[in-house]
Structure 1
């Protein structure tokens, strides 16, 4: 008796088989997987359990912390403002947010924030995780800092503060917080169950995370002035803390978004479906093209993996993400294994979210199995 539910067209039967295998073997605790073509779901599956005790089945509307998948929702919010003529990615950040010019940041452009090349990849110490829940105060702290490397010359993954940096701009353009702008302009109109700042009423739907088994690591071995140390340990992500009400309700655009594969695919299919969904045009082709302007290509200073960034998304990088297909594709991953891929040539969006986290920063064996099964089908199309 399989506890995998949902829909899957015959063409994508291999995707269902791959997902069912991972759920039934126990490799997955609970998960959701969705593939859209032309903005419509052809795969929308879920299965397993929302809790380690296996007492709560993962249901059609189970939510989970998707970590850095949230960054793609921030990018979408920025592109919406670009499309409306309210934001220019080649303009200086300080044009919208004058205080940001402090300490040598006057020439940093919006695209540098969106592509992790700004030099401002986290907060100056001392900072605790709880300090970033007050997003406005945490944004203001970032505005006062000096960059840690020359902006635009390399990427240094903006792991925790991506949403705060872009949130500072969104707040000044729209008068709204990032989470509110996203809810009112994207998630609401598209009827997508994804939240940057999750209401207490939704807590009972949130799956419990099972943190990855990580090797013991002596952080004193890292140079304290390295971009890597300052980005990943100021503050340090604490997985038990990610289950607290304070974390869930904070509008953490870098890594605090809660959703599932269906809502991720719904929103991100705006990119693969030419900016249009539900009979409404959200983004022009010209705006979507910005994603593919190369911003960096090399070993990332913060996470030490080779990455290619466009504006707001990763671009294919076979060493780091071998199962993300080449071509006109943009993607990103959440720590532990969550994944989203937009394939514009085939008008396909792939999304995956789960609660048993794998040890890698990007992808997992399970994500790879689903990506392979999906894109074997898609790449077989004439």
Structure 2
């Protein structure tokens, strides 16, 4: 199936006019002369487009959710007007290019959007998340590819737009609001954290003993905890406290070029390309989880597992709320949420302020073991009381 922008406009008006809201307000007018088109944003009472033309295609620059209203005149007579109304309409939300963490951060916003507007949503997602999302959000049609036969009234792309300097695809730069509420800004929702509830389907406990889950790997070097002794000492500390330590990373080791990261010594190896349901099972019964700004931390959040998050390159607002957020503000930090720093997702060693200097990646190198152990003691005290 062609993408919505390649389709004939899905809605039909009088006099050969066609329209839809697939990535903006789109109009097609026959070349019969003397049209006048006005397009409004109702929520701000702002006229955002007004033009006389002989015919042709119009598409607004703003492609995120806006409460559009348009009116069309032929000569001196108003011949058609329409207000955006998503109720019972087919709506496509496309977020399949996002990472696992992106999807988990955004999916509950999609569900809230569906409930608020009463629309029929098809949500394009990653293939590896399609099945699990269908389990938890049965009223959304999740798919990893589009099939023929469905004309969408509206389409919204919920993705990170790195070079959207004119804010055509989102009303605010993702770095300013953080990943956790970014989808809400695109979908016109209040900027509130919305957690997908993955605790409603309960799995059996995988082992009898108390245990802690960890995930130590990520997709780029800035996301790692780059304290060379960090994970080794944390695992040792947890085992002395009587916990089994279960590593849930996808790979036994990962890295690039000059830097490689391996499963910490003493952690039990549950790595591998496992089904998400298996990861959910481990996280449901863990006393707590320790991870990075990466997909498994977002999955632990969805499950409702207490989380210690270690991240220096993102600001606290980027991720979900947790009282056990580990960030050292005494060194360079939070570049990922600095609008002066342009993320290059192709650069594994992205460090925009101190690349190739002695201060490179100091945001995580200078997160001390004692800082993390302080949070571990705090979370253990809380979990023992519950």
The TM-score normalised by the length of structure 2 is: 0.26
Greater helix content: 1
Bigger relative CO (Cα 8 Å, ≥ 6 apart): 1
Greater strand content: 2
Who wins on radius of gyration, i.e. which is larger? 2
The TM-score normalised by the length of structure 1 is: 0.26
